Amino acid sequence: MSNSFYHDSAGKRYHTWNGALRDKFGGKLFKVPIDGGFDCPNRDGTVAHGGCTFCSVSGSGDMIVAPHDPLPQQFYKEVDQMHKKWPGVAQYIVYFQNFTNTHAPIAIIRERFEQVINLPGVVGLSIGTRPDCLPDEVVEYLAELNKRLYLWVELGLQTTFDQTSQLINRAHSYQIYLEGVEKLRKHNIRVCTHLINGLPGETYDMMMMNVQRTIQDSDIQGIKLHLLHLMRNTRMIRDYHEGRLQLLSKDTYISLICDQLEIIPQNIIIHRLTGDAPWDSLIGPMWSLQKWEVLNAIDHELERRNSFQGKLLQQKEAKKNATYSANL
């Protein structure tokens, strides 16, 4: 890694998803979220009941336009909405977003994925799932898809601490996550890991450790850093009322994100630094509704620090090289 300032093709001080797509496809793409009609193993009793304590009834699919429509119709309705803001875009990545999109027999998974991958303009597929839902026959099909189009598998990890996972009812261990990534990477399948900042009981040091462990222990190509959204009608409300959950302030979150970016290698694509939540279901933090203000504030803080993604790693490498040269 060279000791130089990082500046991606989208003009950011970190390796953005938007910039990575522009570099690969030569222009802007839409990532089109759809509801694949899958369930989740910690909802249906396969591994647990009730789902993750932070998860809404839609399984993180609150922003999908027409979740009950047939899959091709969902795609077209989402694209029509996007074209109102960004006309002229003609390439799409279909995102199976909510619940666990590999939690079904392989015949069902194949039938649903195949409905959308040949739609006009579709060049890629992004599949949200859990690391404990990657049986061999599913991984083999994903390996086949990886040869046919641009594929990402997005693994919900949320935390590397098993005690936190138990508290939020994830119902899988960190070791299971590591094994899941290894299975996917054997087939060169791109992996994007999801982590949540602000989970109950997690300190600043733990949130930094979540990022550090993830990038050191697993061969990932992308990462999503989410702010915890406290939603109505979720089990996490109890943690909030009983004092186990303190919502992060805007300033704290922005500082934390910049600290995390500084320890992430520059080759890892940053798919997200905050998230969306419907205003009528959100309890807090309410400042998170101003998504672009948050992203702009992250940019300004990086600029104020004269910092960028991977800066601390560069400094560490430069110090190591200087020490080596001095000992020659």
Give the mean model confidence (pLDDT) for residues 81-105.
93
Give the model's confidence band at 9: pLDDT under 50 very low, under 70 low, under 90 confident, else very high. Answer: confident
DSSP string, 85-146: HSTT---EEEEE-SS-TT-S-HHHHHHHHHHHHTSTTEEEEEEEE-TT---HHHHHHHHHHH
Q: In the predicted model, is pLDDT for residue 56 greater than 80?
A: no
3 has a pLDDT exceeding 50: no
Length of the chain: 328
Q: Is residue 323 pLDDT above 90, yes or no?
A: no
Give the global pTM: 0.93
Q: How confident is the model at residue 161 (pLDDT cuts 50, 70, 90)?
A: very high
Output b/e per residue, 311-323; b: 16+ Cβ within 10 A.
bebbeeeeeeeee
Quick check: 302 pLDDT over 80? yes
Other Cβ atoms less than 10 A from the Cβ of 105: the count is 11
Write the burial class of residue 229 (CB in 10 Å: 0-12 exposed, 13-18 middle, 19+ buried). Answer: buried
**pLDDT bucket at 215, cuts 50 / 70 / 90:** very high
**Residue 173 predicted with pLDDT over 90:** yes
pLDDT for residue 8 is more than 90: no
Helix (H) or strand (E) run with residue 19 in it: helix 17-25
Q: What's the mean per-residue pLDDT of the chain?
A: 92
What's the pLDDT score for residue 2? Answer: 45
SS3 assignment, position 300: helix
